[in-house]
């Protein structure tokens, strides 16, 4: 299978590329230099020339707080860029995977969100990713919209790496304890993406490691597992705090937990528990 990956140098993109190569697929990775997704003609040119069976669209504007003041860039990449990729993929007859986010929900619900629950994004980032979803659904006849959450991996910066560093450097560490979500290891996410693209079971999917926790509980687990797996010692006193005490420019969903209804009803195996993914990630750092 020929697969083109946008955002191939990013945290998820790199692991998607590695998993595809392991399975023997012919892969083309595209960063901005190879294919600027904000230019429709360039997307059409590159995708036509490579002729992929599948386009996995990982490229995105993900600076959640910056997006609040940089609205044009967020929409240019997440909406217009996704439209351009969708048009080019459809013209080539390619399947399209669009990576979306838990931020398309307002996070005010009590229960885990189903794939077809109403979305109500509150941040510019969430709104721009929702715009990308709408454009993909409108322009592609063979799409997988895959919403994920709290992503971390070996490549790039992320919450786990930040906590490992701060836990050893700080004496006092406040972490939000009233936002719930599901940490997701990029390798596990990449594996379910590879399963999806080999089918015609199109639609919206929620894909995160199973189970849930707060950011504070996630940090506790990071410290516990890192002490066991890596032998690290942490000097920081971990203190829970509220969302209001830890002010950020962009609103965060209080509840980011997503139900994996589509994975189950389409016969796929659910992603493993988040703590198992965390342990494997830490072992990969050794």
Checking if the pLDDT of 194 tops 90, the result is yes
In the chain, what are the domains? 2-158+183-211+257-272 (3.40.50.720)
- Quote the pLDDT of residue 246: 83
**Residues involved in catalysis:** 125
Mean pLDDT, range 261-272, rounded to an integer: 98
- Per-residue model confidence as pLDDT tens digits over 210-254: 999 999 999 999 999 999 999 999 999 999 999 998 888 898 999
Against a cut of 0.85, is the pTM above it?
A: yes
- Quote the pLDDT of residue 286: 80
Q: Are 26 and 3 in contact (CB under 8 A)?
A: yes
DSSP output for the chain? -EEEEETTTSHHHHHHHHHHHHTT-EEEEE-TTT--TT-HHHHHHHHHHH--SEEEE------TTGGGT-HHHHHIIIIIIHHHHHHHHHHHT-EEEEEEEGGGS-S--SSPBPTTSPP---SHHHHHHHHHHHHHHHH-SSEEEEEE-SEE-SSS--HHHHHHHHHHH-SEEEEE-S-EE--EEHHHHHHHHHHHHTS---EEEE---BS-EEHHHHHHHHHHHHHHHT-----PEEEEE-TTTS--SS---SB--B--HHHHHTTPPPPPBHHHHHHHHHHHH-
- Quote the pLDDT of residue 50: 98
Checking if the pLDDT of 177 tops 90, the result is yes
- Per-residue model confidence as pLDDT tens digits over 67-120: 999 999 999 999 999 999 999 999 999 999 999 999 999 999 999 999 999 999
């Amino acid at each position: 299978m020929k697969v083109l990956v946008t955002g191939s140098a990013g945290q998820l993109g790199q692991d998607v590329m590695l998993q595809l190569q392991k399975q023997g697929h012919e892969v083309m990775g595209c960063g901005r230099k190879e294919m600027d997704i904000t230019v429709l003609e360039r997307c059409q040119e590159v995708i036509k020339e490579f002729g992929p069976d599948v386009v996995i669209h990982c490229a995105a504007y993900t600076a959640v707080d910056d997006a609040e003041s940089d609205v044009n860039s967020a929409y240019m990449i997440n909406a217009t860029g996704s439209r351009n990729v969708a048009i080019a993929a459809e013209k080539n007859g390619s399947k399209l995977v669009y990576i979306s986010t838990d931020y398309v929900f307002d996070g005010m619900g009590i229960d885990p969100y189903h794939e077809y629950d109403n979305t109500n994004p509150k941040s510019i980032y969430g709104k721009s990713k929702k715009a990308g979803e709408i454009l993909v659904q409108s322009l592609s006849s063979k799409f997988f919209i895959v919403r994920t959450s709290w992503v971390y991996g070996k490549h790039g910066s992320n919450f786990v790496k930040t906590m490992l560093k701060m836990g050893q450097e700080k004496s006092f560490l406040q972490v939000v304890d009233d936002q719930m979500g599901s940490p997701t290891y990029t390798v596990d996410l990449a594996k379910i993406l590879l399963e999806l693209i080999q089918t015609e079971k199109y639609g919206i999917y929620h894909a995160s490691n199973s189970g849930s926790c707060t950011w504070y509980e996630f940090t506790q687990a990071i410290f516990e597992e890192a002490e066991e797996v890596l032998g690290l010692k942490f000097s920081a006193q971990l203190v829970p705090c509220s969302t209001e005490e830890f002010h950020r420019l962009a609103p965060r969903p209080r509840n980011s937990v997503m139900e994996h209804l589509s994975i189950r009803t389409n016969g796929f195996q659910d992603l493993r528990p988040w703590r198992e993914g965390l342990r494997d990630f830490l072992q990969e750092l050794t």
